[in-house]
């Protein structure tokens, strides 16, 4: 392998001649070989770093701090990095010491060496274009890294938001398709009351949809950046006007509504926005995992479980049991969600561990937040395409379980009283007789009233059952006068207190 000699404050090193990175990146490669995952594996982050460097070069040229020819070469190099042409040159491990200095230097060196090529010079001729004196002009790792970090998080959050929106729509579509499938709801895994399968799936859509709005809110929080703060927030080594100018140029480049933090010292040391985002990702993960738990339960069996829905068969499920098909897509999403939940703890601990004017643990927060955003986005898309869109309802099974359940006796409680209904359920279990036979035999209900009350389609919302009460129970029912009845039918209450407005 051919080499070139590069120097830094610690001495000389041989850098591979083909490499666009330089000596400081080479040292980071030797020091931080931990995960095997490089920052180049997160192209949004590389794109964000190049955006920051381009904005800085533009601002420095406008302020007369950077030679035009050098500045334009840096701008062109940044443009090419943003296009993804040099992702493989971003070789630093995602976890490293130094608060992200190695990431910043990796970007500085790649951009400097590409700028040198564009100017017809050899890589490593840093007297012409320097990674530090030119590419890093008016900057510090402590404002470059967190600014690029936030921009990348916003881009990744938008990807997740789009994936969740599509998943939400898929659940709502199933809600409409299953709107006429009546089944038994369950609480604490026990029979409850009738519901439609469509209502269950529509509820999943609402659950997922809520978080698309929350992601947009957090993205706005992340758009407040500390570029121009340099080392600790004082703006040392910049000229007056640099910070607002570079922020404006960066907003133009990224297309994001970026704003400069009103207190750059606070913004340089605080990691609260990362904790907020991480907590939201945990919330998304918890909710998605719960939905996948439901899908596995509803499809369980299929012959000895609930079997109310069928998930698409995407692969054989067993190496020993022929014909077995497992709910592998929900299982995949469960595990992704478990990883995200664990990542949230890491982000929390790293944010808390910051000291004085800088939190040095940005790399581990970046590692975990990027992973959480990326795998949640992929998992949401896989869940939609490989599972939800292909779910079918087992209508006959839903009806079989519905009519075989004593849970519908709940509808009798307003008519015969809770205690009497509970006794009927207990006796029906003990004797094997139907609640209908027991109630008619005991004179608690007329057959026609029972049949009307126990119509599952009539149990799916509020209804007035007072007309089904017999004997003394009917006499004890509170009556409304004509005025009160009219007001109630108009939704205005009974006049016996303040009306409750309906949103």
d(C-alpha 152, C-alpha 146), whole Å: 10
Question: Closest Cα to residue 283, out of 222, 207, 363?
Answer: 207
Indicate the pLDDT class of residue 483, thresholds 50, 70 and 90.
very low
Residue 270 phi/psi, 5° resolution?
-90, 140
> Could you tell me the end-to-end alpha-carbon distance of the chain, in angstroms, rounded to an integer?
73
For 9-23, 97-111, 397-411, 467-481, which range has the lowest pLDDT when averaged over its residues?
Answer: 467-481
List, in sequence order, every beta strand (DSSP E) within 328-401: 392-393
Q: Of 252-261, 300-309, 312-321, where does the model show the most confidence? A: 252-261
Question: Is there a contact between 391 and 313 (Cβ–Cβ < 8 Å)?
Answer: no
d(C-alpha 283, C-alpha 125), whole Å: 50
pLDDT over 90, % of the chain: 75
d(C-alpha 19, C-alpha 4), whole Å: 9
Cα 231–157–348 angle (5° rounding)? Answer: 60
Alpha helix segments (H runs only) across 83-140: 101-118
Indicate the pLDDT class of residue 491, thresholds 50, 70 and 90.
very low
Give me the pLDDT at residue 434, please.
86
More confident call, 80 vs 430: 80
Alpha helix segments (H runs only) across 63-100: 68-82
The Cα-based distances of 411 to 317, 449, 468 in angstroms read: 41, 12, 11
- Asked if CATH classification 1.20.200.10 holds for the domain at 143-394, the reply, yes or no, is yes
Indicate the pLDDT class of residue 16, thresholds 50, 70 and 90.
very high
Catalytic residue among 51, 259, 269, 318: 318
What's the CATH code, domain 3-137?
1.10.275.10
Question: Is there a contact between 211 and 217 (Cβ–Cβ < 8 Å)?
Answer: no
In DSSP notation, 152-221 reads: HHHHHHHHHHHHHHHHHHHHHHHHHHTTT-EEEEEETTEEEEEEEHHHHHHHHHHHHHHHHHHHHHHHHH
Give me the pLDDT at residue 325, please.
86
pLDDT tens figures, 421-431: 888 889 988 99
pLDDT tens figures, 168-220: 999 999 999 999 999 999 999 998 889 999 999 999 999 999 999 899 999 99
d(C-alpha 321, C-alpha 305), whole Å: 17
Told to judge if 259 belongs to the known catalytic residues of this protein, a careful annotator would answer no
CA 314 to chain CA centroid, nearest Å: 25
Average pLDDT of span 428-456: 85
In sequence order, the 6+-apart residues with CB closer than 8 A to the CB of 328 are: 314, 315, 317
Encoded tokens for 190 = 């026990």
Alpha helix segments (H runs only) across 270-327: 272-298
Residue 317 phi/psi, 5° resolution?
-100, -10
d(C-alpha 101, C-alpha 114), whole Å: 20
The SS3 call for residue 1 is: coil
Indicate the pLDDT class of residue 359, thresholds 50, 70 and 90.
very high
Q: In the predicted model, what is the mean pLDDT of the chain?
A: 90
Question: Closest Cα to residue 246, out of 3, 61, 424, 450?
Answer: 61
Give me the pLDDT at residue 490, please.
46
pLDDT tens figures, 128-161: 999 999 999 999 999 999 999 999 999 999 999 9
Give me the pLDDT at residue 476, please.
38
Give me the pLDDT at residue 334, please.
98
Asked if residue 315 has pLDDT above 70, the reply is: yes
Asked if residue 314 has pLDDT above 90, the reply is: no
Give me the pLDDT at residue 109, please.
98
The domain spans of the chain are: 3-137, 143-394, 406-472
Encoded tokens for 209 = 């949809």
pLDDT tens figures, 215-249: 999 999 999 999 999 999 999 999 999 999 999 99
**CATH match for 406-472 among 1.10.10.60, 1.10.40.30, 3.40.50.460, 3.90.45.10:** 1.10.40.30
Indicate the pLDDT class of residue 326, thresholds 50, 70 and 90.
confident
* Beta-sheet pairing, 224-225 with 259-260: parallel
Give me the pLDDT at residue 408, please.
77
Asked if residue 269 has pLDDT above 80, the reply is: yes
More confident call, 113 vs 461: 113
């Amino acid at each position: 392998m051919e080499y070139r000699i590069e120097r830094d404050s610690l001495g000389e090193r041989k850098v591979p001649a083909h490499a666009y990175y330089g000596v400081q990146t080479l040292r980071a490669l030797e020091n931080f070989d931990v995960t095997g995952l490089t920052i180049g594996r997160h192209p949004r982050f590389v794109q964000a770093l190049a955006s920051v460097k381009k904005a800085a070069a533009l601002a420095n040229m406008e302020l007369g701090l950077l030679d035009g020819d050098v500045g334009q070469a840096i701008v062109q190099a940044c443009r090419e990095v943003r296009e993804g042409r040099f992702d493989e040159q971003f070789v630093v491990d995602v976890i490293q010491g130094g608060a992200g200095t190695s990431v910043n230097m990796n970007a500085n060196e790649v951009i400097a060496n590409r700028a040198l090529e564009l100017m017809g010079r050899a890589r490593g001729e840093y007297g012409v274009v320097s990674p530090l004196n030119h590419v890093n002009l008016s900057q510090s790792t402590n404002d470059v890294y967190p600014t690029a970090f936030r921009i990348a998080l916003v881009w990744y959050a938008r990807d997740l938001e789009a994936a969740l929106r599509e998943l939400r729509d898929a659940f709502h579509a199933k809600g409409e398709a299953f709107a006429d499938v009546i089944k038994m709801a369950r609480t604490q895994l026990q029979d409850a009351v009738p519901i439609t399968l469509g209502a269950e799936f529509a509820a999943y859509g609402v659950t997922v949809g809520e978080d698309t709005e929350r992601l947009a809110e957090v993205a706005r929080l992340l758009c407040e950046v500390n570029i121009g703060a340099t080392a600790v927030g004082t703006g040392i080594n910049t000229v007056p006007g640099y910070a607002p100018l570079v922020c404006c140029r960066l907003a133009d480049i990224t297309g994001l509504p970026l704003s400069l933090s009103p207190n750059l010292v606070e913004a340089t040391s605080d990691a609260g926005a990362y904790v907020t985002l991480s907590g939201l990702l945990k919330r998304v993960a918890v909710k998605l995992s719960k939905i996948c738990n439901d899908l596995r339960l509803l499809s369980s069996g299929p012959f000895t479980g609930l079997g109310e829905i069928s998930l698409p068969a995407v692969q054989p499920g067993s190496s020993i049991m022929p014909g077995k098909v497992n709910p592998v897509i929900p299982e995949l999403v469960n595990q992704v969600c478990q990883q995200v939940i664990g990542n949230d703890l890491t982000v929390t601990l790293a944010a808390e561990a910051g000291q004085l004017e800088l939190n040095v643990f940005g790399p581990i927060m970046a590692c975990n937040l990027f992973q959480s955003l990326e795998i949640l986005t992929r998992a949401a898309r896989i869940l939609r395409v490989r599972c939800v869109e292909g779910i079918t309802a087992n209508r006959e099974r839903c009806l079989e379980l519905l009519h075989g359940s004593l849970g519908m006796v709940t509808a009798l409680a307003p008519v015969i009283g809770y205690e009497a209904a509970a006794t009927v359920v207990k006796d029906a279990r003990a004797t094997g007789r139907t609640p209908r036979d027991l109630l008619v035999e005991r004179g608690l209900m007329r057959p026609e009233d029972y049949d009307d009350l126990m119509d599952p389609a009539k149990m799916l919302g509020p209804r007035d059952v007072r007309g089904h009460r017999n004997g003394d129970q009917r006499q004890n029912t509170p009556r409304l006068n004509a005025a009160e009845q009219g007001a109630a039918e108009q939704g205005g209450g009974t006049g016996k207190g303040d009306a409750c407005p309906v949103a």
